[in-house]
């Protein structure tokens, strides 16, 4: 477990998201999937981004690398803005910001050899074909595949192997930071462990920053240094993995953490959250969580909570922030 | 996970070899391929294979099939067998040229429409819709008539009628592939949109386009003979199958004049459809497995 100690402030911030909003749909029927999220990823740090389906975590991940246009806010990589991908080639500096997708079967071109696919990372950056081939063989070995795999086609591999090939492909571009969108949830249990270990090993050995988008809380707990919890397009709590897990502050995080099944069979499902996730096209007034919140107060229906420091981490909750504010006064 | 599975995997056959082996597993394609090869050989060897000059009018007119003239003679005393054999030299190459041209034009237009989107897409697709709004043969007739009755103009007419099918197919494939994760991941690695179109998208859409072309060759033969039948394609004395059937229809009591060129059209169209169908089965992953095993 790497989550015990907070990351030293000396590590440079690689990816900085400020007030990021992502919208879908046409004028008139626009849905704000992500609404004003602040998040940073530093070198050598794994930031877990968790939340239930539809909370906007994947949209945030895609926006962070420039796959979705920002409706508001800014995404910066190494201090420079992340431009949305257009028709032309992505600026070279952004090549060091990469993404690993959920489904390795569809993220690798079925008609090209694994060697060519991995070598792309080198040749698209201006490297020669020979360099690409050498690098591809080396990277495949690094992710635990024989160098002879270069001549094979993607359909000849298992899901776990394919995901490692996909990771090798992004590594060929020498990334400083990458976003992994549910990188292991499409894999079987043994492959999950291999890929999760590979990812955390890369972060540890190469000082890569990783934004790990996942709904699998146990994996995030294993791998992440910090955790951001999303609900309906907002980040409700950000803190070190240790803080968030052992003393969750936001009522949503508390419900989420309490719902994790435990190996002793004592998996509790106590905090029954009434109702479903509201429609993101028509979010509730005030705090977006208030219709389902067990500790809701009158002010929650009108006040939109902004992140405030509570017990050493950022929490967006009026009720939780109140005692802290009182203590400050 | 083991190295063993990778070693074993590397011996699997690439797509090309699989496609080449496929005819032997489906008899219909084998029949089709045999007929096509037979016609191609006949076309190449026509000057030697045909018993006489297709234009020579040195026999008695409208003779029934006999030992001297296997397929009989036509209204000008020309040997029908020789004319049918020589007809292969016109219909087959033109059908290939025609399909190649429509595939090329349609693919380029479709790829450009799918790649650029917005108004380029709208203009290209409305143009395609315009062509689709008419029955193919009627539009081809109108164009061929406007350009003047000539074999070359008939070919142009058929190309104008058939490119939109390819444009639509390629456009939809490009649109689907453009948002696919393998294209997006290439884009993230720094590939331009145009590069992914050639490197990532092209190999994935070549299969369906090839199948459509193969299925279309038969259609092209039919359309071209149709135009010639109506007098808008090949002009006398060219030994073109459609024109020969037309001559037969004027002498319908002399069945051999129209029947043999008609059979030639039938066998060629049927053969290309057999091959095209099989090709589609082979390249479709859902049916390919059944053919491989």
For A275, the 3-state DSSP assignment is coil
Q: Do residue A87 and residue B9 have CB atoms under 8 angstroms apart?
A: no
Q: Do residue A88 and residue B193 have CB atoms under 8 angstroms apart?
A: yes
- pLDDT > 90: percent of chain B: 24
Boundaries of domain holding A197? 13-269
Q: Do residue B200 and residue A109 have CB atoms under 8 angstroms apart?
A: yes
**ipTM of predicted complex:** 0.83
**Total domains present in chain A:** 1
Collect all residues of chain B within an 8 Å Cβ-Cβ radius of residue A153.
14
- Alpha carbon of B286: minimum distance to chain A alpha carbons (Å): 14
- Alpha carbon of A87: minimum distance to chain B alpha carbons (Å): 5
CB A199 within 8 A of CB A216: no
Mean pLDDT to the nearest integer, B170-195: 88
Q: Is residue A195 part of a domain?
A: yes
**Residue numbers of A between 29 and 88 with CB closer than 8 Å to B:** 65, 67, 85-88
Pairing state between β A177-181 and A97-100: parallel
Reply yes or no: is the peptide bond before residue A291 cis, omega within 30 of 0.
Answer: no
Cα dist. B123→B116, B168, B290 in Å? 11, 13, 41
Q: Do residue A101 and residue B5 have CB atoms under 8 angstroms apart?
A: no
CB A288 within 8 A of CB A234: yes
Q: Do residue B186 and residue A109 have CB atoms under 8 angstroms apart?
A: yes
B18 contacts chain A (CB < 8 A):
no
Please tell me which of the candidates A65, A148, A190 has its beta carbon nearest to residue B6.
A148
Summary count for chain A: helices (H), strands (E) = 10, 12
Q: Is residue A62 part of a domain?
A: yes
Q: Is residue A287 part of a domain?
A: no
Residue with tokens 């190449």: B44
**Residue numbers of A between 122 and 151 with CB closer than 8 Å to B:** 124-125, 145-146, 148-149, 151
Q: What is the pLDDT of residues B180-192, one digit of tens each?
A: 888 988 888 888 8
A313 contacts chain B (CB < 8 A):
no
- CATH code of the domain containing A107: 3.40.50.300
DSSP letter for each residue of chain B: --HHHHHHHTTSPPHHHHHHHGGGG-HHHHHHHHHHHHHHHHHHTHHHHSSS-TT---S-TTPPP-SSSTT-B-TTS-BHHHHHHHHHHHHHHHHHHHHHHHHHHHHHHHHHHHHH-HHHHHHHHHHHHHHHTS-HHHHHHHHHHHH-S-HHHHHHHHHHHHHHHHHHHHHHHHHHHHTSHHHHHHHHTT--HHHHIIIIIHHHHHHHHHHHHHHHHHHHHHHHHHHHHTTSSS-TTS--HHHHHHHHHHTTTSHHHHHHHHHHHHHHHHHHHHHHHHHHHHHSHHHHHHHH-
A90 contacts chain B (CB < 8 A):
yes
Domain covering B22-52+69-292, topology:
MetI-like fold (1.10.3720)
Q: What is the pLDDT of residues B72-100, one digit of tens each?
A: 787 787 888 888 888 888 889 999 999 99
**Domain edges within chain B:** 22-52+69-292
Model confidence at B286: pLDDT above 80: no
Beta-carbon contacts of A182 under 8 Å, excluding residues fewer than 6 positions away, are: A58, A102, A213, A214, A215
Instruction: Tell me which residue of A159, A162, A158, A124 sits closest to A140, measured CA to CA.
Output: A162
Instruction: Tell me which residue of A95, A211, A101 sits closest to A162, measured CA to CA.
Output: A101
Mutation for testing the B interface, residue in A62, A83, A120 having most B CBs under 10 Å: A120
A169 contacts chain B (CB < 8 A):
yes
Please tell me which of the candidates B9, B182, B184 has its beta carbon nearest to residue A152.
B9
Mutation for testing the B interface, residue in A109, A135, A136, A180 having most B CBs under 10 Å: A109
- Structure-block tokens of residue A155: 């359909």
End-to-end CA distance of chain B: 25
H/E stretch holding A301: none
> pTM score, two decimals?
0.76
Mean pLDDT by 10 residues, chain A (329 residues): 48 86 82 88 91 86 90 88 84 88 87 88 84 88 86 87 90 90 85 86 87 87 90 89 87 83 59 70 83 83 83 82 57
Collect all residues of chain A within an 8 Å Cβ-Cβ radius of residue B14.
153
């Amino acid at each position: 477990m790497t989550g015990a100690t907070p990351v030293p402030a000396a590590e440079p911030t690689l990816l900085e998201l400020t007030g990021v909003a992502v919208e879908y749909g046409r004028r008139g029927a626009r849905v704000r999937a992500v609404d004003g999220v602040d998040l940073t990823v530093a070198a050598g740090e794994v930031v877990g981004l968790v939340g239930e389906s539809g909370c906007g975590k994947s949209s945030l991940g895609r926006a962070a690398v420039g796959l979705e246009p920002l409706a508001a806010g800014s995404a910066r990589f190494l201090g420079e803005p992340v431009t949305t991908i257009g028709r032309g080639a992505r600026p070279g500096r952004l090549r060091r910001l990469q993404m690993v997708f959920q489904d390795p079967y569809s993220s690798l071109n079925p008609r090209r050899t694994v060697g060519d696919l991995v070598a792309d990372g080198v040749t698209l950056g201006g490297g020669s074909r020979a360099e690409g081939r050498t690098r591809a063989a080396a990277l495949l070995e690094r992710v635990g595949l024989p160098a002879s795999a270069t001549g094979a086609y993607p359909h000849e591999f298992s899901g776990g192997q394919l995901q490692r090939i996909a990771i090798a492909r992004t590594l060929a571009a020498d990334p400083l930071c990458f976003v992994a969108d549910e990188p292991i949830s499409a894999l079987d249990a043994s492959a999950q462990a291999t890929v999760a270990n590979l990812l955390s090993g890369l972060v540890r050995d190469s000082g890569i920053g990783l934004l790990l988008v996942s709904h699998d809380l146990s994996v995030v707990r294993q791998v992440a240094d910090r955790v951001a919890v999303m609900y309906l397009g907002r980040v409700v709590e950000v803190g070190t993995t240790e803080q968030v897990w052992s003393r969750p502050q936001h009522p949503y995080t508390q419900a989420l953490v309490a719902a994790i099944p435990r190996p002793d069979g004592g998996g509790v499902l106590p905090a029954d959250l009434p109702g479903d996730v509201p429609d993101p096209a028509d979010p509730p007034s005030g705090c977006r969580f208030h219709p389902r919140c067990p500790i809701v107060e009158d002010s929650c229906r009108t006040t939109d909570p902004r992140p405030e420091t509570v017990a050493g981490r950022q929490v967006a909750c009026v009720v939780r922030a109140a005692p802290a504010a009182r203590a400050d006064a | 996970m083991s190295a063993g599975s990778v070693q074993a995997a590397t011996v699997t056959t690439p797509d090309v070899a699989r496609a080449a082996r496929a005819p032997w597993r489906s008899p219909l394609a084998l029949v089709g391929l045999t007929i096509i090869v037979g016609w191609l050989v006949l076309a190449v060897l026509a000057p030697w294979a045909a018993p006489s000059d297709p234009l020579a009018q040195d026999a008695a007119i409208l003779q029934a099939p006999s030992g001297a003239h296997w397929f009989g003679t036509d209204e000008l005393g020309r040997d029908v067998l020789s004319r049918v054999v020589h007809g292969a030299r016109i219909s087959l190459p033109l059908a290939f040229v025609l399909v190649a041209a429509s595939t090329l034009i349609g693919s380029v237009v479709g790829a450009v429409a799918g790649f650029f989107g917005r108004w380029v897409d709208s203009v290209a697709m409305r143009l395609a819709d315009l062509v689709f709004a008419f029955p193919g043969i009627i539009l081809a007739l109108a164009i061929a008539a406007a350009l003047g009755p000539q074999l070359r103009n008939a070919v142009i007419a058929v190309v104008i009628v058939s490119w939109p099918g390819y444009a639509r197919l390629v456009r939809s494939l490009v649109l689907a592939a453009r948002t696919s994760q393998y294209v997006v991941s290439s884009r993230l690695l720094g590939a331009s949109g145009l590069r992914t179109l050639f490197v990532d998208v092209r190999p994935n859409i070549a299969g369906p386009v090839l199948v459509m072309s193969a299925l279309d060759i038969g259609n092209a033969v039919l359309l071209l003979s149709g135009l010639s039948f109506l007098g808008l394609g090949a002009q006398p004395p060219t030994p073109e199958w459609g024109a020969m059937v037309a001559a037969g229809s004027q002498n319908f009591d002399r069945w051999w004049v129209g029947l043999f060129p008609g059979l030639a059209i039938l066998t060629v169209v049927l053969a290309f459809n057999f091959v095209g169908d099989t090709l589609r089965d082979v390249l479709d992953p859902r049916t390919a497995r059944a053919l491989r095993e």
